[in-house]
Amino acid sequence: MEAEVLIRQSGFFISALTTLSLAIFSIEFILNYELSFFIFSFIIILYLASLYLRNRFWRKVWKRDRKALFRYSNIIIWILGIALLAVFIYFGNSQNIVYHLSHYALNSYLIIMAAIWTVYSALELYMVNQISSVTRYKNANYLTITAIVLVDLSFLLMNHFVYILPIALLLLSVSTVFSGIRLKEIY
């Protein structure tokens, strides 16, 4: 039974590790202007693993509950997750010169990624609330909503305060862990 619970939560925990890796990656970039493609490829592998495991979990929820919400959300999250990665890779490949992180504030590709990610995260938070106690985890909901808003704001305010992105990603990592913890109590 514990193995099943761990598998259920693993997609969220790996996603938190991915987000934490991105936060560290962005701090290193701010301090040194250096990009490591090895670390970047590691982050992509973690992201794909977390996306697959989360998709598998939501598909299992749909098969158990048979609610159309979970079926369509499962498909939408998978599509948005892949779209987010595709835009990110396209954006990365289009960069011939690496600038300071503040240069990328209001970048159209990053705004598209933020929009995709916001819908993805809001939908997943809604689904977590459908299968987990809302009142018991009210503070976790506030944490997740704050993380979503702060990540979106980071692309607007990055040219004034460059550390807002790593802070937002760290907060997002913590909120993703709480989403995984919430799932321990269901089914």
Give the Cα separation of 115 and 123 in Å (integer).
12
Give the Cα separation of 55 and 49 in Å (integer).
10
Residue 150 identity: L
pTM for this model (two decimals):
0.84
The reported pLDDT for the residue numbered 6 is 66
pLDDT of the chain along its 187 residues, tens only? 566 666 678 888 999 999 999 898 888 888 887 666 677 788 889 999 999 988 888 888 888 877 777 778 888 888 999 999 999 888 888 877 777 777 888 888 888 988 998 998 898 888 888 887 777 788 888 999 999 999 888 888 887 888 888 999 999 999 999 888 887 766 5
* Tokens representing residue 106 in the block: 């209001």
Give the Cα separation of 106 and 185 in Å (integer).
40
Q: Of 167, 81, 165, which Cα lies nearest the Cα of 117? A: 81
Q: Provide the greatest CA pair distance for the chain.
A: 51
Give the Cα separation of 27 and 23 in Å (integer).
6
